[in-house]
């Protein structure tokens, strides 16, 4: 099965993708990871895209497509894959169609309030950079890093106004992609309904959402 997973930043998309990958025995392909690997290995491509990625801009389509095409031609993709971080534009969605045929697109429809709550709870260690989440992965001692006792702080881009802005930009871009896949009949939306989720799991209903996704995939 060839799957694309779409969802807002902070939706847990990467986590769900890797769980689905384990369950179905297909690789989890994150274009962000593939691109970072190029940089780590200091390949020609890596050198070319380093400054673009550091700025947080999108890497040119032909670069991402060529790396992706190469990745999905490997043996471990013969039974499918789950694609995370791609497509990011309609142009990429169209190019994707030229190199493979996607079976299903999972859209994690997580409401803004959940994302804001989760992302504003993120803290990072001033000294070693370790990441915590006050809701889902709290440090043993409040405000202090478990590893190095450094002070935990909130990153500028985890502040509520910044997150709201990021969500706005995300929506403008993704709505088109969602529409595109809906029209093709490939879209399956996983709704996040507060009333479906037990109180103690509201912050990260991992297993519940995962079961919903698996049943949508009929797997």
Q: How many helices (H) and strands (E) does the chain have?
A: 8, 8
Residue nearest to ligand ADP (CB): 32
Stretch that binds Zn ion, among 6-14, 141-149, 165-173, 182-190 (CB under 5 A): 141-149
Residues that bind ligand ADP (CB under 6 A): 9, 30-32, 35, 53, 56-59, 64, 85-86, 88, 92
Kindly state the smallest distance separating residue 112's Cβ from ligand ADP, in Å.
Answer: 17
- Please identify, using beta-carbon distances, which residue of 13 and 139 lies nearer to ligand ADP: 13
Asked whether position 148 contacts Zn ion by CB under 5 A, the answer is yes
- Please identify, using beta-carbon distances, which residue of 21 and 92 lies nearer to ligand ADP: 92
Strands 187-191 and 104-109: parallel
Identify the residue among 17, 24, 82, 125 touching Zn ion (CB under 5 A): 125
- Please identify, using beta-carbon distances, which residue of 87 and 139 lies nearer to ligand ADP: 87
| H/E element, 98 | helix 90-99
CB 25 within 8 A of CB 127: no
Query: Which whole-number Å values give the CA distances from 53 to 23, 36, 38, 84, 90, in the listed order?
Result: 31, 9, 11, 17, 20
How long, in residues, is the chain?
A: 219
Asked whether position 150 contacts Zn ion by CB under 5 A, the answer is yes
Kindly state the smallest distance separating residue 117's Cβ from Zn ion, in Å.
Answer: 24
Three-state secondary-structure class, residue 138: coil
Residue 146, both tokens: 């478990």
Kindly state the smallest distance separating residue 11's Cβ from ligand ADP, in Å.
Answer: 10
- What are the residues facing 153 on neighbouring strands? 124
Asked whether position 131 contacts Zn ion by CB under 5 A, the answer is no
Query: Which one of ligand ADP, Zn ion, none is in contact with 111 (Cβ closer than 5 to 8 A by kind)?
Result: none
Q: Which residues are catalytic?
A: 13, 88, 122, 155, 166
Query: Which whole-number Å values give the CA distances from 132 to 12, 119, 155, in the listed order?
Result: 14, 11, 12
| CB proximity list for 117: less than 8 A, separation 6 or greater | 135, 203
Identify the residue among 15, 66, 79, 128 touching Zn ion (CB under 5 A): 128
In the chain, the largest separation of any two C-alpha atoms, in whole Å, equals: 52
Query: Which one of Zn ion, ligand ADP, none is in contact with 167 (Cβ closer than 5 to 8 A by kind)?
Result: none
Judged by the rule CB under 5 A, the positions of this chain that interact with Zn ion are 125, 127-128, 130, 145, 147-148, 150
């Amino acid at each position: 099965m060839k799957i694309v997973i779409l969802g807002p930043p902070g939706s847990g998309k990467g986590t769900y993708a890797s769980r689905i990958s384990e369950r179905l025995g297909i690789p989890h392909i994150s274009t962000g990871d593939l691109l970072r690997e190029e940089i780590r290995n200091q390949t020609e491509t890596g050198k070319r895209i380093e400054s673009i990625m550091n700025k947080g801009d999108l890497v040119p389509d032909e670069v991402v497509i060529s790396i992706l095409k190469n990745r999905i031609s490997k043996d471990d993709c013969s039974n499918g894959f789950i694609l995370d971080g791609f497509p990011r534009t309609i142009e990429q969605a169209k190019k994707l169609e030229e190199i493979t045929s996607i079976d299903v697109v999972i859209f994690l429809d997580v409401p803004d309030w959940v994302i804001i709550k989760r992302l504003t709870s993120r803290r990072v260690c001033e000294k070693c950079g370790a990441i915590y989440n006050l809701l889902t992965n709290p440090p043993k001692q409040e405000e202090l890093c478990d590893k190095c006792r450094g002070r935990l702080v909130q990153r500028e881009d985890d502040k509520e106004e910044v997150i709201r802005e990021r969500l706005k930009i995300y929506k403008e871009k993704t709505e088109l992609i969602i529409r595109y896949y809906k029209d093709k009949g490939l879209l399956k939306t996983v709704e996040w309904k507060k009333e479906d989720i037990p109180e103690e799991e509201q912050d990260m209903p991992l297993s519940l959402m995962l079961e919903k996704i698996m049943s949508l995939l009929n797997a």
